[in-house]
Amino acid sequence: MVSSYPGNIPSNVAKDAKYSVVHGNAGMEVRLIYRVGAGERELLTTSKHPELVEMVNRVKLSSAQSPGGVFYINEYQHVLVPAGGSYQYAGTYQRILEFDFNRQVLGPRPPAGLQPGEDWQGPHVGIRYALTADGSDVRYEVKTTTGPTSTNEKRFLLSAAVGRAGASKLASRLGQYKGQGGGRIYINEVREFFAPVGDDPRYIYLGPLGDDPWFPAPQLSAN
């Protein structure tokens, strides 16, 4: 049994900002579209996560859809699958997705020695949040349909969840690398932050969440 996800849901549209389950030579595999440079992408796959593939397919089949397709893993390690007009919670997955690329391992963890402010060369898969324009808080929005032609947007602030002091401390740390004016930031499944900068855009590493306070995990209905 699956259920609609009550927390922050992905709002990415870029192809390299999501994982997918696809058909491969060894059955169904997990795929990452990895952006090497402007207009250049690599299709990386792994067949080492059959339990994760099963999670995603269970959601798709329960919604009368074909197996496979897009999914995300958020900072609580919750697997989120778009299906049936909403995002569905498929379960919690604690194993880390890693892919072979140019005889190296590519995954959500930063390489040893990478410092905040330096280029982020890892996957762009993550959950979108935003630094407020004044750099003092972190927010996300959830849009819901309220009628045939209308939607409602509800905003959630980190300060409301953890207090102004804790939210400001984290926002200031991230903002010193992201730059003035706030904007999009992403957190991945191992709680590492990265963000786009510039018009290209390039992505920079913002550092780990670490011991800083964060939004509490959504309350999930029992499966």
Low-confidence ranges of the chain (pLDDT < 50): 1, 223
Q: In this predicted structure, what is the pLDDT of residue 188?
A: 97
Mean pLDDT, all residues of the chain: 91
Q: In this predicted structure, what is the pLDDT of residue 85?
A: 83
Residue 63, class by beta-carbon neighbours within 10 Å (0-12 exposed, 13-18 middle, 19+ buried)?
A: middle
Q: In this predicted structure, what is the pLDDT of residue 2?
A: 53
Amino acid at 208: P
Half-sphere exposure of 93 (CA within 13 A, CB side): 22
Q: In this predicted structure, what is the pLDDT of residue 143?
A: 77
Model confidence pLDDT, tens digit, residues 177-208: 998 889 999 999 999 999 999 877 889 999 99
What's the whole-model pTM score?
0.92
Q: In this predicted structure, what is the pLDDT of residue 84?
A: 83
Q: Count other C-beta atoms under 10 Å from residue 53's C-beta.
A: 19
Model confidence pLDDT, tens digit, residues 96-123: 999 999 889 999 999 999 999 999 999 9
